[in-house]
Amino acid sequence: MPLFIDPMYFVFVAPALLLGLWAQWRVKSAFARASQEPAPLSGAAAARHILDSAGATDVRIETMPGHLTDHYDPREKVLRLSPDVYGARSLAAVGIAAHEAGHALQDAHGFGLMAVRNVAVGVANIGSGMGMLLLMLGLGFAMQTLAWVGVALFAGTVFFQFVNLPVEIDASNRAKAQLVNLGIVPSAEMPAVNAVLNAAAWTYVAATLQSILTLLYYASLVMGNSSDDR
């Protein structure tokens, strides 16, 4: 049976899937509530203020289509914000924009884990695709070594998630500090921003857990196949 329709896979990763669904619900609900709370600046203006105050004047800010598609591109030094964040003057918008600006500050200040993550993302992309291919070939042709190589390659995805989690948390912490220090959001209004960023952090926890459980599932397939060959 192909891996992607094996019911046992969903048994293995069920805790992560449930956590991910809960985290996504929290993000949407927290973002919706914070979107109703006004802010003195738009998301783009808040991000620009944070970047300029930290000396990261070379980072451009652009808008891009989609909902919550916000991200920082370290290769092009561009902070891309979704329409709901770029032009909106809400606590939700400035919170998300400040988080992405936090990634730009990590890049500008040489945050070590950010550099590791930038390298690990390539390893993860190769590991997630090539690892599964080699695993399936190894299992299909009873080649244990090849199957274990596939598992090892997929471990690169787990490594990326382990590095990515503290990077995301650090970006949120930088965002929270800058919003208050620069007077963009008064301390009394920060709970709404914290709710959005803390909810988003749980999505990364869920992704990390899912990668770990998927790795364990793949390893169990190889070990089970090894036992069947005896």
Active site residues: 100
Pair of tokens at residue 1? 């049976």
Other Cβ atoms closer than 10 A to 11: 11
Provide the pLDDT for residue 123: 86
Pair of tokens at residue 147? 């199957």
**pLDDT class of 2 with cuts at 50, 70, 90:** very low
Encode pLDDT of 45-102 as tens digits: 999 999 999 999 999 999 999 999 999 999 999 999 999 999 999 999 999 999 999 9
Encode pLDDT of 205-227 as tens digits: 999 999 999 999 999 999 987 65
Other Cβ atoms closer than 10 A to 76: 11
Encode pLDDT of 125-153 as tens digits: 888 889 989 999 999 888 999 999 999 99
DSSP 65-125: SSSS--EEETTTTEEEE-HHHHS--BHHHHHHHHHHHHHHHHHHTT-HHHHHHHHHHHHHH
What is the pTM (predicted TM-score) of this model?
0.90
Encode pLDDT of 141-187 as tens digits: 889 999 999 999 999 999 999 999 999 999 999 999 999 999 999 99
Pair of tokens at residue 61? 């800010």
Q: Is the pLDDT of residue 1 over 70?
A: no
Q: Is the pLDDT of residue 112 over 50?
A: yes
The residues, ordered by sequence, that sit 6+ positions from 85 with a Cβ below 8 Å of its Cβ are 43, 44, 68, 70, 92, 93, 96, 97
Provide the pLDDT for residue 229: 54
Encode pLDDT of 10-44 as tens digits: 999 999 999 999 999 999 999 999 999 999 999 99
- Using alpha carbons, list the distances in angstroms from residue 95 to 62, 73, 151, 165, 169: 17, 18, 38, 18, 13
For the chain, which residues make up each domain, given as ranges? Answer: 3-228
